[in-house]
Chain A
């Protein structure tokens, strides 16, 4: 989902930076608040951020004949919300643009918006919808992870389609073309990512259920059911 350096006109770079910056400030503010209230959240932040580092570095072949990488933002989205996830993603994307030439500094704002903001926001919406229902925790984690991943790539398609509408068919035609490249490739990867992160969440519940309860990520009752039935 990286938009390469130089591939967005400067006006669009500026717009996406203006969207990304307030979210990053909000994320830093929330992060400070959470860590001041409970230092026990720091290891969980390490694990959720660690998975963004790992999964976003893995370029995997997909069934469409091209390769792409998962985003790994699902766990962080569930545990800390979209704004803190945006901060973690900004660090990963900055690393990739400085040392790997994947993405760039001018397009960093656009890439933060897709991977760190819109994807996690979509996932967070699903999490809020299912958190207090009887839906199994692991199904929630799977859906949040897979949707955050697919929405990230759909957003990249939208960003590129806005900047480069097709000569015939305009924005809509261009958006469908970009979706065909990014989102379709991503669907199988998002499904695998959803299963893997649901499994990781099982081990977090097994080892440190108290932090999930303290941070009110899921209710004690739901966590106890997940622990009892799956361990």
Chain B
């Protein structure tokens, strides 16, 4: 039995369902701020240790992106590195297959 596009269809359904649940959550949940779980984890550490988040000082000095825009830009740069790798290799493989 052939399942030619089964995976594509299933993946699409899952992504659409994920988006629909997100839209429902964001409209129905008052507390849904969609901040990062890393930040929520840091806040829980602060609560458990009784030390405010701002009082946690780096053990090793660390550079901070000067703004959230720069941070987003650097995240995009990271994704771009991955995209170039994946796209480059898939293109290379397709070329090899075509020439074979």
Contacts and interface: CB of A to CB of B under 8 A. Distances in A.
Interface string A87-118: 00000100111111110111000000000000
Interface string B19-49: 0011001100101111111101110110011
Q: How large is the interface on B (under 10, 10 to 19, 20 to 34, 35 or more residues)?
A: 35 or more
Given A49-B85, A95-B78, A181-B40, A61 B48 contact: no
Interface string B66-94: 00000100111011011111101110111
A67 B48 contact: no
A62 B34 CA distance: 8
A138 interface: yes
B34 A65 contact: yes
Interface residues of A, number: 75
Main secondary structure of the interface of B (DSSP, over half): helix
B75 A4 contact: no
A99 B74 contact: yes
A27 to B, nearest CB: 18
B57 A66 contact: no
Contact of B60 (A44, A96, A104): A104
A204 B44 CA distance: 41
Contacts of A95: 78
Contact of A57 (B1, B62, B75): B75
Contacts, number: 184
Contact of B90 (A13, A47, A106): A47
B70 to A, nearest CB: 9
Contact of A229 (B3, B32, B33): B3
B28 to A, nearest CB: 10
25 contacts: A4-B56, A5-B58, A7-B42, A7-B45, A7-B56, A43-B92, A44-B89, A49-B82, A50-B89, A59-B36, A61-B22, A96-B78, A99-B63, A100-B74, A101-B63, A104-B58, A153-B37, A156-B41, A160-B44, A177-B48, A185-B37, A196-B11, A203-B90, A208-B93, A229-B2
